[in-house]
Amino acid sequence: MEKPEVKRLLINYKTLEEFQNFREYGAPELSMKEDLQANIIENDSESPFYGIYYGNKLVARMSLYRVKGKFDQYFEPPQDYLELFKLEVLEAYQNKGYGKALVDFAKSFNLPIKTNARQRSDEFWNKMDFESVTYQPMRDRGENPYVWYPEGVKEQVLSQEQR
C-alpha cells in the first residue's frame, strides 16, 4: 500500500466544510469559522490541523499544538511538547493505516507527545507505542492521558499540589 501523505491543512471555507464530516466538531472549528468570517486571519493561512486526503476528500485529521516547556506537567526533564487532539479517521476509511500515518508524522518532530485517549481507544495508542501515565485528578480532570516519550525523556513526578 502506498504511504498516505500527511498535509498541513489550510484555514479556508473548504477545510471547514470538510470538518463537518467529523464527529468531533466543536470550539476549535467554530473559532476558525468566526476568524474567517471576521477576516482576522488570511484565507489559506496554515492551521494547527493536519490531514490525509483520499482524492479530494479529507478522510483523516488531527490537531497538533506545541505547549511551552514552562507549562509542562507530563515530562521529565520539563520541555516543549506536542498536544495531539481531534485525531479522527472517517468511519469508511478506518483500518487503512491513516491513523498511524498521522501519529508517525507527529512523532517526526521528535518532541514528547501527549494525548487524551477517548472511548476505549487504549489499544490503538498502545500499538502506537504510547503509554498511559499515572492518573492525577487535579492535572488530568477525567482525561485518559497517553504519552509518547522520545529517547531520554520520562514521566514527570508532580508535587503534591499539582496532582
**Candidate ranges 1-9, 52-60, 72-80, 136-144; the one touching a copy of itself (CB under 8 A):** 136-144
The H or E element spanning position 148 is strand 145-148
| Residue 14 or 118 having the CB closest to a copy of itself | 118
50 strand-pairing partners: 8, 62
Count Cβ atoms below 10 Å from residue 48 Cβ, excluding itself.
Answer: 17
Helix (H, G, I), strand (E, B) or coil at 139: helix
What backbone torsions phi and psi does residue 97 show, to the nearest 5 degrees?
90, 5
Please say whether the beta carbons of 59 and 53 come within 8 A. Answer: yes
| Of positions 7, 96, 100, 118, contacts a copy of itself by CB under 8 A | 118
| Residue 31 or 94 having the CB closest to a copy of itself | 31
| Of positions 83, 90, 109, 155, contacts a copy of itself by CB under 8 A | 83
| Of positions 72, 80, 143, 155, contacts a copy of itself by CB under 8 A | 143
For residues 150 and 152, what is the distance between their CA atoms, to the nearest angstrom?
6
**Grid cell in block for residue 72:** 509542562
Of 7-26, binders to a copy of itself (CB under 8 A) are 23-26
Residues that bind a copy of itself (CB under 8 A): 23-28, 30-31, 48, 63, 65, 67, 71, 83, 85-86, 117-120, 122, 132, 135, 137-138, 140-145
